Amino acid sequence: MVDNKKVIEILQAVVRKVEKNKDFLTELDNKIGDGDHGINLARGFQAVAEELADLADADVRTILKTVGLKLISTVGGAAGPLYGTAFMKAGMSQAEGKKEVDGSDFIDMLVAGIEGVKLRGKAKVGEKTMLDAMLPALDALREEYGKRADFKAGMQAAVAAAEKGVEYTKTIVATKGRASYLGERSLGHQDPGATSVLLVLQTIEENI
């Protein structure tokens, strides 16, 4: 079980992880996108960090919705609306007043976040987007958590599946976003959005 204070700790760790990998994400995006994914995402999560201190007593729903709104308002490009919507929908999947979540709740959050990304980005698996990491992670988490209700083990499986999803993006042609303009030239490059999703999932697994 993860309480609201632990959720904030995890989000603070995500801020640090994104900042640490800002240049790497930007380098990936330089090859097939606008070259700003890492910079924009780091700016957004730094803005999130400034909000977290005021959310110490908030429920999980409020914490995640606040994070989502802040990302939408501060992250440029496609990442802001996509990540912001994912966090907002994840928060909305939880009942008001709820201050503890378990693996089953996180599955609900991930389902809601994925649906938000699909709706906002009009994308599906196999189009070289963040969904190519999110959906395999969800499937693996569901399978592993369903065996023994172990959140840590479930997240380890989710991270492993997301890693494979990131590798998969190297083998497909982008058909969404700026990368789609490159056509066949996008082959061989991993998707920066799927990579940043992997970083977020790794951070959750490392901190639960």
Beta strands in 37-169 (DSSP E): 100-101
pLDDT at 116: 96
pLDDT at 125: 86
Q: Where are the domains of the chain?
A: 2-207
Average pLDDT, the chain: 92
pLDDT at 174: 73
pLDDT at 4: 96
Give 107-146 pLDDT, tens digit per residue. 999 999 999 999 988 888 888 899 999 999 999 999 999 9
The percentage of residues in the chain with a pLDDT greater than 70, rounded to a whole number, is: 93
| 46 neighbors 17 (Cβ within 8 angstroms) | no
Q: What value does the mean pLDDT take over residues 26-37? A: 85
b/e per residue 8-38 (b: at least 16 CB within 10 A): bebbbbbbebbbebbeebbebbeebbbbbbb
pLDDT at 181: 46
Q: Could you give the CA distance from residue 129 to residue 114 in angstroms, rounded to a whole number?
A: 12
Model confidence, pTM: 0.93
> Could you confirm whether domain 2-207 is CATH 1.25.40.340?
yes
Confidence band for 31, pLDDT divided at 50, 70 and 90: confident
Q: What value does the mean pLDDT take over residues 196-205? A: 98
Q: What value does the mean pLDDT take over residues 187-199? A: 89
Comparing 76 with 148, the larger pLDDT belongs to 148
